[in-house]
Structure 1
């Protein structure tokens, strides 16, 4: 019975997240291919999680409240993910001191022995953990890359499936950091 209730809650949370993301997309932003940040009043809290990162440290999303979080669902063999990684590493270098935190979640279940050399090669100097199917369901991961921007209050401000538009995404980060 408890698992049925948990499944129902997870489905309800996912529905809220997806609905708020769809509502936030104005016809103008969809037509232009430029996504806009979800209006503050329509943002939903990002589901919390605790994982162990590939370095063996505890990684809890809610501990990042007060920072803007770029949450990247990716995999080492994902071509689009490899396109975005240098941008995200640059964003981390450029905006970390202003309150940006990056978290990478490998969604192919790869192990630390595979992920760590990949992180070194791509200069990923931020926490990376292996995501789970259940976590992917909570966040609505259907394709990769999937990147979320989470505001300082822990609410989802942007969600983008596929390769992001670098300039637009950086602008979104700058806007969130100003608040």
Structure 2
């Protein structure tokens, strides 16, 4: 009687007469496959790292375009231009006044408070806007809605943002008097020389930006 194939030897046949897959060959293919996957992963990581290196310059004009989109996306023009609210607030000397008293000027009225972090961040940009229009009929009116007890703190903060002046809404009602109402602080409304609203920004904005200046320039030119 002839001897059968050795157990575990290469070339052993599976039931049905088919030749089995050599164990050594399968192992080699698995090792090669793992190596190829590893190489591909390394190549991908290197490519990603080189494309995201810190300090890689942006395309020309890319930063300016993003800044323009930021302000333009925030600035909203009214469907129907409305006059400012018939509401009393107080100037630095404690004299009662209304926004209508400033008719004939382009007014940038900002509602803010010392407890409002975004308000304090954008305030220097409003100061720069006011400085840029020195001698022109443009008035940045930053109206504090701080309590009477915090008025001194608000006054000190405005003094640090020259040439802005201190204005105070003692009853804290200006946000509710606007049409439509302001959703919160900061809210900044631009009025033309005719006393009608040109547009507004709800939230923080860079009022020293060229886009903000363009809004004021257009209001000045409107006459």
Normalising by structure 2, report the TM-score: 0.59
What are structure 2's unaligned runs of at least 5 residues?
1-68
State the partner residue of 1:115: 154
Count of matched residue positions in the alignment of Structure 1 and Structure 2: 147
The counterpart of 2:112, out of the listed 57, 74, 90, is 74
| Shift of residue 48, structure 1, vs aligned partner | 2.3
State the partner residue of 2:51: none
Confirm or deny that 1:171 pairs with 2:214. Answer: yes
Higher RCO (Cα < 8 Å, 6 or more apart): 1
State the partner residue of 1:162: 203
State the partner residue of 2:168: 129
Residues 139-164 of structure 1: CA deviation (Å, up to 9, x unaligned): 11222110000111111111111112
Residues 53-86 of structure 1: CA deviation (Å, up to 9, x unaligned): 3431232211100000000000113221122111
Give the greater-gyration-radius structure (CA).
2
| Shift of residue 174, structure 1, vs aligned partner | 1.3
State the partner residue of 1:103: 141
Moved over 6 A (4+): none
Structure having the larger proportion of residues in strand: 1
8 Å Cα contact 1:72-1:104 kept in structure 2 = yes
8 Å Cα contact 2:111-2:144 kept in structure 1 = yes
| Shift of residue 117, structure 1, vs aligned partner | 1.5
| Shift of residue 87, structure 1, vs aligned partner | 1.2
CA RMSD of aligned residues (A): 2.2
Where 2:126 maps in the other structure, the secondary structure is: helix
* Matches for 1:76-91 after TM superposition, within 5 Å: 76-91=114-129
Deviates more, 1:72-81 or 1:50-59: 50-59
Deviates more, 1:103-112 or 1:148-157: 103-112
Q: Distance in 2 between matches of 1:88 and 1:141?
A: 19
Q: Distance in 1 between matches of 2:107 and 2:218?
A: 13
Where 1:48 maps in the other structure, the secondary structure is: coil
8 Å Cα contact 1:37-1:172 kept in structure 2 = no
Deviates more, 1:42-51 or 1:150-159: 42-51
8 Å Cα contact 1:71-1:148 kept in structure 2 = yes
8 Å Cα contact 1:151-1:176 kept in structure 2 = yes
